[in-house]
A and B are shown apart, each in its own frame.
Chain A
Amino acid sequence: MTASLQIGRLLRSTTSDCVIGCRASELNVPVFGGMVRIPLADGTQIYGLIHNIQIEDDGLIRQLITSDNVSEDVLLDNRNNRNVPVEIGVIFVGYAQNGRISHLLPPRPPLSLDEIFTCMPPEVIAFTGSGRFGYLRHILRAEDLPQAELLAAHIQQAGQMHHAHGSPGWVEAVTRELVTLLRDDYDRLMSVLSAIGDVNLS
């Protein structure tokens, strides 16, 4: 198993979500729907899902796009040197303390400049396989997020890991739980099921 990768550091946070900054050159690792963890000083691990990746601009970037041909050296300069971070939005879905996983919100948010790591398959499997999908309610409560797409991306990634580790029924179980949670909201349920229908586990 390869070690989890640091993808950036925390810019700002609340009890339910946070924004991470990373350099454009490091953007090949974090993916939409990907699960991340933020270790706190007391050993607590906060878990979250990436729901937004935003590429910031500034005056120079806006000027450079008027050039007929942006040369390779200028491209590398802007991606590696300039202080224009990529902002990654993360919604918290739970935490682990003393080895015990909880699908409640973390006791306190992480602090500025805390490191953020990608979750490795065993971590994703342990978190998503523990309890009864309680973490889904954090996503379903955040109405300003692209919920259906976020859930589909998460289910695709976590489903592949469960499938590879001998739990082929995980996708069906999480879908059934979503149907239960959204049974009183037909429109949202149809939107989520439609997105999940596009999930490809192969």
Chain B
Amino acid sequence: MPVNYLQVQGQILDKCQQARQNQQVYRQRLEQALKLLERFAGELDTLRAVVENARMADSTLRCAVPLNEELNTARDAPVMGEMPLLLAADGSQVNPNRHDAVEFAVINTGLFRIQPGTAHTPREETQTQLYLLEDLHNPDAPLTEEVVALRRDLTERRLLAERAAAESARPLITLTDGPLELFREPRDNPQYDQLLRDYLNILQKTNRHGVVSAGYVDKPRSDLVVRLLELAGEQNSAAQETARRRPLAGVLDRVIFARLLGAGQRSAVFAIQSGMAERFADYDPALQPCFFYLNVSAGSSEPYLARVEIPLQTAQNSDLLDALHAALLQQCRQMGSKPYPYALHRAHEIALISRLEKEQIETMIARAMRAMGLEVEDKSFKQYHKENR
């Protein structure tokens, strides 16, 4: 049976109607947020104190913390004589599926090295890690989809750190898609703790080599700055109460900064206040996650905002910050009307595991298992029928 389009149509109309009614409230909140941003733009000490007080009252607090630039900062793209060397990595995975004939997981990491603006052919590389049999069924460290995703993040950063260590060029930028902060679950087991320590260790090594670690978040839905403004505007209320009421709920940071940032401009750099950010800073204060917004659109086109996450060490080094700013814009310009860093797109393209490749790996495993006298099951009947449509 096809989708019941009649039912869907009715639901679409209901939701749109509701959203239209909420538009007025949303506009008021957006204007309020912009006013608060202007009002507190230069009151950095006050804002830091507000966040510190709120953090004491609410350990789950998540918001932006200003560093040393005013909130309404809009920095033009720096002019660079020579673009920095760029290493981008992206991972792709096959998650274990008990319905397959052979249960396995694969993490494929693509690395792309480009020296922008030169006549050198960029280099590409892939690393593939297979998880099979005993790897999957360790009761102390089960390989769930979340763990595979966490290992993928870790592998991306590890490969970047290894290749960066072999490069002498500076500045050198390593880039991944998504935030530097980790959000994977579960966070309360020894396996997660170990993987997080490994991740932080890699970021620390990269930092110490003077290499920039950056995470690029396309079309960000974050409201870290908005949450900061909520705290600033409600200083007489308890932080937990403000967090519960969310007076500016629905307003996204990118909407605010789209009003402030011209083409190619970046926002002020903020630190992140969160439980995970604290774990980063506890491991090494130089790793405190920070971020800025970047309007990657060109010329007269509509603003298009990305969020870029960096460790504190980079945030405090204006030369590295400028190099990153310029490199990201140069990379986005390569993609014409839909700006996104070319190097990241290529790393993604290299890493992608196609269905055909997955089947090929499955065949290789089954053949090897049979050759060694190991039993290979059939795929589940459910899977068979799904594929047989």
A residues in contact (CB < 8 Å) with B: 60, 63-74, 76-77, 80-82
Contact = CB atoms under 8 A, between A and B. Distances in A.
A72 B119 contact: yes
B118 A73 contact: yes
Nearest to B339: A67
Contact of B333 (A63, A65, A68, A80): A68
B122 A81 contact: yes
Contacts of A70: 334
A70 B338 CA distance: 14
Contact of A60 (B114, B115, B118, B349): B349
B334 A71 contact: yes
- Please give me the 7 A-B residue pairs with the lowest Cβ-Cβ distance, nearest first: A66-B336, A67-B336, A76-B121, A66-B337, A77-B122, A80-B121, A72-B119
Given A73-B117, A76-B119, A80-B121, 15 more contacts: A60-B345, A64-B334, A66-B336, A66-B338, A68-B298, A68-B333, A70-B334, A71-B116, A71-B330, A73-B115, A73-B118, A73-B121, A76-B122, A77-B121, A77-B122
Contacts of B349: 60, 82
B118 A77 contact: no
Nearest to A79: B121
A12 B184 CA distance: 46
Contacts of B120: 73, 76
Contacts of A68: 298, 333, 336
10 contacts: A60-B345, A64-B336, A66-B338, A68-B336, A71-B117, A72-B119, A73-B117, A76-B120, A77-B122, A77-B346
B114 A63 contact: no
Contacts of A60: 345, 349
B336 A73 contact: no
**Interface size of B as a range:** 20 to 34
B124 interface: yes
B334 A67 contact: yes
A60 B333 CA distance: 13
B84 to A, nearest CB: 13
A63 B336 contact: yes
A63 B333 CA distance: 11
A66 B338 CA distance: 9
A44 B333 CA distance: 51
A124 B203 CA distance: 62
A168 B132 CA distance: 69
B26 interface: no
Nearest to A69: B333
A170 to B, nearest CB: 43
B342 interface: yes
B238 interface: no
Contacts of B346: 77
A63 to B, nearest CB: 6
Contacts of B333: 67-69
B25 interface: no
Counting chain B CB atoms within 10 Å of each CB, which of A60, A64, A77, A80 scores highest?
A77
Which of A64, A72, A73, A80 has the most CB atoms of chain B within a 10 A radius of its CB? A73
A70 B120 CA distance: 14
Given A60-B345, A60-B349, A73 B337 contact: no
Contacts of A65: 336
A70 B342 CA distance: 11
Interface in B342-376: 342, 345-346, 349
Interface string B111-134: 000111111111010000000000
Contacts of A74: 334, 342
Nearest to A65: B336
A7 to B, nearest CB: 20
Contacts of B116: 71, 73
A80 B119 CA distance: 12
A151 B122 CA distance: 41
Given A60-B345, A60-B349, A73 B122 contact: yes
Nearest to B119: A72
A68 B337 CA distance: 9
A71 B345 CA distance: 16
Given A63-B335, A63-B338, A67-B335, A73 B345 contact: no
A137 B346 CA distance: 47
Given A80-B121, A81-B121, A81-B122, A73 B335 contact: no
